[in-house]
Amino acid sequence: MPLGILLATGSARTDYLSPAYPVLFAGGAVAIERVLSRRGPGWLRPALPVLPLLGGLAVLPSGIPLLPDGTMARYAEATGLNERELGQGKTASLPQWYADQFGWEEMVRVVADVRDGLPPEERAAAKVLTGNYGEAGAIDVLGRERGLPRAISGHNTYHLWGPGAEPTGTVISLGVPISRLREVFESVEQAGVVQCAYCMDYENNLPVYVARNPGRPLADTWDVFKHYE
């Protein structure tokens, strides 16, 4: 039934069915073992594991990061893995489950450099506003070493946590459309750009803005940044 639903929609992610594979593989192995124990040549039993072993070796780089970045990109192009999108409009030279591992260090470095370039009176209280939970997670985890504050975001559950109780006069923002920032802040200027070779396209060449002077407290306009996907 789940497979039928996924096939019928035509747009569902292929990894949604992956939890069922171990059970299916186990059931198939038992069925093959029973057939071969009753009929068929005995030599076939030890020979059968060779086929999935060879097939597994061929696709092993798609599941385990064995290849260097550039080689993996060529492998993905040759096998068509880079053409399989797990999300609509999300593309990269690597499959998404690999590309999503790139770009976070560059992102944190640019945001930290922008923060360090602020006047001292702004630097201490500046917040970091991101467009999605991946960007927020990078700031929260990798930004600790650079002394960045915990991120705020309007994406999914991050929106429920709000912008924080402290007054917000200056915000460093990435991944949020400039038009949305201008709905809330009087001044918005680009202060940097995030670039990464193998990350997802929508995380590459990502502008970093400094937004100042919200017309109202950020808590009152927080729903402007809310989005679920």
What pLDDT is attached to residue 108? 97
Instruction: Say how far apart CA 110 and CA 103 lie, in whole Å.
Output: 11
Whether residues 122 and 205 fall in one domain = yes
Query: Hey, how many other C-beta atoms are within 10 angstroms of the C-beta on 72?
Result: 21
In the predicted structure, residue 69 carries a pLDDT above the cut 60: yes
Is 90 within a domain? Answer: no
Q: Does any domain span residue 16?
A: yes
Structural domain includes residue 115 = yes
* Same domain (yes/no): 196, 111: yes
171 in any annotated domain: yes
110 and 213, same domain (yes or no): yes
The verdict on 27 and 124 lying in the same domain is no
122 shares its domain with 42: no
DSSP string, 118-165: S-HHHHTT-EEEESSHHHHHHHHHHTTTTTPPPPEE-BTHHHHT-S-S
3-state secondary structure of 88: coil
Please write the tens of the pLDDT for every residue from 8-66.
665 556 667 778 888 888 888 888 777 777 766 666 667 777 777 777 777 777 777 77
Q: Is residue 21 part of a domain?
A: yes
pLDDT value at 92 more than 90: no
Report if residue 217 sits inside a domain: yes
CA distance 198 to 227: 26
Contact present, 108 and 150 (Cβ < 8 Å): no
How much is the average pLDDT of 80-95? 61
The answer to whether residue 83 sits within a structural domain is no
Q: Residue 73: inside a domain, yes or no? A: no
> Are 43 and 151 part of one and the same domain?
no
Which of the listed residues 11, 29, 48 is the one where a domain comes to its end?
48
Q: Look at 206 and 165; give whichever has higher pLDDT.
A: 206
Helix, strand, or coil (residue 200): coil
Mean pLDDT of the chain: 84
Provide the residue range defining the domain that includes 143: 104-225
Q: Residue 92 gets which letter from DSSP?
A: -
Among 119-128, 132-141, 160-169, which stretch is predicted with the lowest mean pLDDT? 160-169
pLDDT at 117 over 80: yes
Q: Tell which of 48, 67, 82 closes a domain.
A: 48
Q: Is the pLDDT of residue 81 over 70?
A: no
β-bridge pairing 206-214 and 170-174: antiparallel
Q: How many domains does the chain have?
A: 2
Helix (H, G, I), strand (E, B) or coil at 39: coil
**15 and 124 fall within a common domain:** no
Say how far residue 148 (Cα) sits from the centre of its chain.
20
Backbone region of residue 147 per phi and psi (left: phi > 0; alpha: psi in -120 to 50; beta: other values): left
Sign of the alpha-carbon torsion through 26, 30, 36, 37: positive
State what percent of residues in the chain have pLDDT above 90: 46
Which tokens go with 83?
A: 């053409």
Q: What is the pLDDT of residue 174?
A: 96
Residues 110 and 210 in one domain: yes
My answer on whether 108 and 43 are in the same domain is no
Q: pLDDT for 179-188, tens place per residue?
A: 999 999 999 9
